[in-house]
Structure 1
Amino acid sequence: MRQILILAVAVLLIGGYVARYADKAVTAGEPAQAATRQAVNEPRQPVTSGRSMMLNADRMGHFKVEARIDGRFVDFMVDTGASTVALRESDAARIGIRPRPVDYVAVVSTANGKVKAAPMKLERIEVGGITVYDVQALVLPDRALDTNLLGVSFLSRLKRYEYAGGRMVLEQ
């Protein structure tokens, strides 16, 4: 079961990176149209209402949020292609999460190759008015991950998450 979970995480992480590079290739071929899209899609502050939140895509089409893990702030990119929440080692250390070398038991395939990751459970993640408890996560070396990923181990615990018209809605 653990090997299947690790394989699923690897496939989803690779998918996220492939999508990111595909977006860059498309916008590189259309400079005038890309400039127009960037001006229209400039990120604005997330709109929160109780237990729901509306996010606007940034100029690259990504959804970024500031979350609190056990009361400490961490920046994330919402990634529906990542099966789990993934934290960069330096950000994890900054909020007091420091896996030991023996904790790096999962092998994950990323755009930068295979790396070892430390599976863990986060007590609480808060995004706007949304709070999810006991969230599965991985800590990865900084070289393997450009940004922290808010993956499906968080998103699947919501009532819904939806993408439409350059916006994402998270609802608990």
Structure 2
Amino acid sequence: MALSTGTRALLSEALSWTAAAAMIAVVAAHYTEIRDFALQTLSSSQNNVTQITDARSVPGSSPYGYVELRADTQGHYNSDIEINGRTVHAMVDTGATMVAMSYEDAEHAGIFLSPSNFTHRVNTANGVARVAPVTLDRVRLGSIEVRDVRAAVAERGRLNGTLLGMSFLGRISRLEMRDGVLVLQD
């Protein structure tokens, strides 16, 4: 039995939001660990950002569209990124379907939402949460920039920080982890 175009589009959208719900559920289930991790690694992530900036500021030291991030002591990759030209701290998460932003980070990036924008409900370990689907004009990590990136913004206080997920990572040509270094190339 063939499905109509509308039915296929609806199923595709439902699958996308189910994946987003699963991602938010995992984050909610590990909220305390993520919060503690963020507090412990804030200073080490500042060092990672400095390394990226230093590598790009020396002509010829790093090709355009190439970024290396070092893992922190727990094996996570953190960096400041730019969303719509505004700096936001993020954890790189290859297990996240899309970029997931906290309400507070979204506001900092110039994305202002009203309660009516939170149109999708997701089940998390902490109960039902609502998210607002958005498209980010521009996301930049070091010298890598991706435009028109799908993302979800969690309601105020429901997500602590931003996850740089596959809606960004899946659009670059190279993503490789080796010896505690994450290599990304445009």
Report the TM range for the smaller structure's normalisation: 0.7 to 0.9
Q: By how many angstroms is 1:113 displaced?
A: 2.9
Say yes or no: does 1:102 pair with 2:116: yes
The answer on whether the counterparts of 1:9 and 1:83 sit within 8 Å (CA) in structure 2 is yes
1:147: Cα distance to partner? 1.6
CA distance in 2, matches of 1:88, 1:164: 29
The correspondence for 1:116, drawn from 123, 126, 130, is: 130
| 3-state SS, counterpart of residue 20 of structure 2 | helix
TM-aligned CA deviation for residue 152 of structure 1: 0.3
- Deviations for 1:110-138, whole angstroms, at most 9, x for unmatched residues? 34332100001000011110000000011
**How do 1:121-160 and structure 2 match up within 5 A?**
121-160=135-174
Question: What do the CA deviations read for 1:137-157 (whole angstroms, capped 9, x no partner)?
Answer: 111024321220100000000
Q: Which amino acid aligns with 1:113?
A: G
Asked if 1 retains the 8 angstrom alpha-carbon contact of 2:29 and 2:126, the reply is: no
Whole-angstrom CA distance in 2 between matches of 1:58 and 1:111: 26
User: What's the % identity of the aligned pairs?
Assistant: 35
What per-residue deviation string (whole Å, max 9, x for no partner) do you get for residues 13-35 of structure 1? 44466688899xxxxxxxxxxxx
Aligned to 2:157, the other structure's residue is in SS state: helix
Bigger strand share: 1
User: TM-score, normalization: structure 2?
Assistant: 0.73
CA distance in 2, matches of 1:161, 1:85: 16
TM-score w.r.t. the length of structure 1 is 0.79
Alignment root-mean-square deviation, CA:
2.4
Match of 1:4 in 2: 15
Q: Could you say if the C-alpha distance between residues 140 and 16 of structure 1 is closer, same or farther in structure 2, counting changes exceeding 3 Å?
A: closer
**Cα contact 2:82–2:141 (8 A) shared by 1:** yes
Q: Does 1:170 align with 2:184?
A: yes
Q: Greater CA radius of gyration, 1 or 2?
A: 2
Q: Is the 8 A contact 1:123 1:135 kept in 2?
A: yes
Preserved contact between residue 121 and residue 129 of structure 2 (Cα < 8 Å):
yes
Structure 2 unmatched runs, 5+: 1-11, 35-40, 56-61
Q: Does 1:61 align with 2:72?
A: no
Equivalent residues of 1:15, 1:81 under 8 A apart: no
TM superposition shift of 1:12 = 3.2
Distance 1:155 1:141 in 2: 24
